[in-house]
Structure 1
């Protein structure tokens, strides 16, 4: 067995046998489900009702707001138009009310548009302000139409409400929010890669720093080349992480099969929804869930999973080379902070590019360019794959990723070779550049 194989085996076994690795491998999916359920529970909880005082001297709007009390709103409106306005403002200061809506008496509606006040100790939410303004604007519009002797009922009936019926070119009915589902799936895999790179990349760096600090590395490199040691650590750690993600994938697919069986969905790209099921989807939540699960199974799942493995390996190898070089260049984790930011920034940039660009235009220039750049492609391309990406783009992206990896390994190995035996001196960017020339 070659020396590098022995190092890979040593790193892999050490990581897999670690108790924290075993516990988190099987506990993480349960924690994710528990956190998701907890967030859903918090979202379903009814917030505390907030009291809004109304002092309406015009008498136009108070009934509009009082009627909202019967609609289980988060806000309860109280008609206090006969109470002194200064007393109400003092009550706001004492926090007896959340806010005070003050509508003064004016000569005409046009003047009223700019005279209404919303008094509160803290700035109200944007949604509350917009909804309140909308109610007042609708009432003023209706009142203006009546003053102009226009038939408001006829105008209301003439108002069109357009709701698109979404369908595919094949004739099947489509669903709203599929782009959000696709970007969510791609984003989840991309986020896993980013977190894995940060967590396990730091693990590689800490392992190098620990061996360097304890002077164990001086004994190791007497029979192992620095490049072999670096590659062994990177590959061994990545295999342990890949095993962990495969276990998570099996657990996730098992849960997906269970959900499909529970809702009675035929799994596979050829699954079809009958007209009866389509009708039921419009009437019942179960039917809607069936259609969404069917759409998820119609995604290029094989391409997503294969792409995840490929970009996982390429992205991790690329960034771990940087982490290993940094670990060899410093003596402790405190000194490594100045070098970590340039590594983390491309990862953060790729996440923002994915969520703010890919979802709106997955095949646009920005998404295409960043899915080709090796430092961002592991995340951005994974977010694009659920939308359907031509094979040649994936081939070019993967080739650039692994080509850059081999180039970075060559440079990182030079830093690793020199830095692994350097002690007691905090390196600068200039010194790292000098090491590349050795």
Structure 2
């Protein structure tokens, strides 16, 4: 145990004293806050107004298009179409909508044309087609003697009031909130595994190529060296995350003070839209209440458990890969099988757990050790029976022990092999030594 603690201490100190580690520890939060501030600034900027020409020979549609913050419409029905197309080429108009005159309303389905130099956005296309279709529908109903005004008055929009069986109010999107909270925990585990697993692998490769490993291995067991590297790198990573969190919070507070954000009194717009504002405030309150009802404390505990199991499982594989090769280029053939389960866990979490958190697929992948650290953490906010969590954790740590044994076998042979890129067949042979 004393030898292992020395290795852990050596790995930890070598990581935290590394210049790149120090720089990224303090620069990363600054970059993150700067990017967030830049995104906020860009999103607050007013978009350039685009001028759209409407050449309406029928005269039915031109009044349906109203100016907005993004688009300004111009009636150019009296201008020659050829000149209008030239105007588009000369950038006088973003585009021109050509609407011919048709006797039969059905003929408008394929007759309307939009001319522009650049492809319009999907939102603009959908909005324009909706306006045209709505006008044609009303015109068609009037031709058939149906009063569209009476039809509008008869229309009733239904908004469901959501409550739980206990009588508590809830809002739309609660499942999205739950999957979001679970996804944050799962994504953190995935990123930690990839970032610091690679760090373990590079450390092994560096010591192997510099031949320092031959001196170290003469006095300690290979499995002690491997576990010392993994644990030492883990502690360095945890320290980095803690510093990121502290620096990030400080920077966000400072940025908030510098921006002078004032929330003490409602704006004129809020007052003019009091019912909508009150409803929004009520929904936000309910959302925060839903988040508070989530098992956040137990999720934090399970996050730590799954993080330890998942990180040690994958880091053992990273260490084995580092021992088997001579440089990072040769690791590519072995990296895909390691990364694939992590990516699969993310996709299963987002596309299956959200719709069926207790379905067969979600349940199975929350039990498979290579995907359970991500999938199970996404399922927990929806309420998972304790026996399923216990079984999942037991399988994860049992697999971790087995993988450590397998990785130690490869590590023991691989750290003394030079000059040849091993194949999968050779790796299997090493397990028999």
Q: Shared fold by TM > 0.5? A: yes
Alignment partner, residue 100 of structure 1: 96
Secondary structure of 2:48 counterpart: coil
State yes or no: 1:398 paired with 2:405: no
Q: CA deviation at 1:144?
A: 1.0
Secondary structure of 2:408 counterpart: helix
Paired with 1:388 and 1:25, the residues of 2 have a C-alpha distance of: 36
Paired with 1:242 and 1:91, the residues of 2 have a C-alpha distance of: 60
Structure 1 residues 64-102: Cα deviation after superposition (integer angstroms, max 9, x where no partner): 11xx21x43x12111111111122223223333222211
Alignment partner, residue 381 of structure 1: 376
Alignment of 1:190-205 (within 5 A): 190-205=186-201
Aligned residues: 418
- Pair 161,256 (structure 1): closer, same or farther in 2 beyond 3 Å: farther
Q: CA deviation at 1:323?
A: 0.6
Alignment partner, residue 52 of structure 2: 52
Structure 1 residues 120-156: Cα deviation after superposition (integer angstroms, max 9, x where no partner): 2333222211111110111111111111121111111
Aligned partner of 1:231 among 196, 221, 227: 227
Paired with 2:27 and 2:288, the residues of 1 have a C-alpha distance of: 26
User: Is residue 303–residue 385 contact of structure 1 (8 Å, CA) maintained in 2?
Assistant: no
User: Is residue 33–residue 251 contact of structure 2 (8 Å, CA) maintained in 1?
Assistant: no
- Pair 281,395 (structure 1): closer, same or farther in 2 beyond 3 Å: farther
State yes or no: 1:110 paired with 2:111: no
- Pair 37,368 (structure 1): closer, same or farther in 2 beyond 3 Å: farther
- Pair 176,22 (structure 1): closer, same or farther in 2 beyond 3 Å: farther
User: Is residue 325–residue 415 contact of structure 1 (8 Å, CA) maintained in 2?
Assistant: yes
User: Is residue 204–residue 324 contact of structure 1 (8 Å, CA) maintained in 2?
Assistant: yes
TM-score normalized by structure 1? 0.88
User: Is residue 171–residue 283 contact of structure 2 (8 Å, CA) maintained in 1?
Assistant: no
Long gaps (5+) in structure 1:
265-278
User: Is residue 54–residue 100 contact of structure 1 (8 Å, CA) maintained in 2?
Assistant: yes
Paired with 2:27 and 2:281, the residues of 1 have a C-alpha distance of: 30
Q: CA deviation at 1:179?
A: 2.1
Q: CA deviation at 1:234?
A: 1.0
State yes or no: 1:313 paired with 2:311: no
Paired with 2:423 and 2:178, the residues of 1 have a C-alpha distance of: 43
Alignment partner, residue 139 of structure 2: 143
Structure 1 residues 285-318: Cα deviation after superposition (integer angstroms, max 9, x where no partner): 6555444333322211012211211111111111
Q: CA deviation at 1:18?
A: 4.0
Alignment of 1:1-400 (within 5 A): 1-22=1-22, 24-25=24-25, 28-65=28-65, 68-69=66-67, 71-72=68-69, 74-246=70-242, 283=278, 288-400=283-395
Paired with 2:243 and 2:380, the residues of 1 have a C-alpha distance of: 22
Paired with 1:81 and 1:295, the residues of 2 have a C-alpha distance of: 54
Q: CA deviation at 1:370?
A: 1.4
Paired with 1:256 and 1:286, the residues of 2 have a C-alpha distance of: 24
Paired with 2:275 and 2:250, the residues of 1 have a C-alpha distance of: 26
- Pair 181,41 (structure 1): closer, same or farther in 2 beyond 3 Å: farther
Paired with 1:24 and 1:169, the residues of 2 have a C-alpha distance of: 49
Paired with 1:166 and 1:146, the residues of 2 have a C-alpha distance of: 38
User: Is residue 280–residue 287 contact of structure 1 (8 Å, CA) maintained in 2?
Assistant: no
Long gaps (5+) in structure 2:
257-261, 265-273
Secondary structure of 1:78 counterpart: strand
Secondary structure of 2:53 counterpart: strand
Secondary structure of 2:98 counterpart: strand
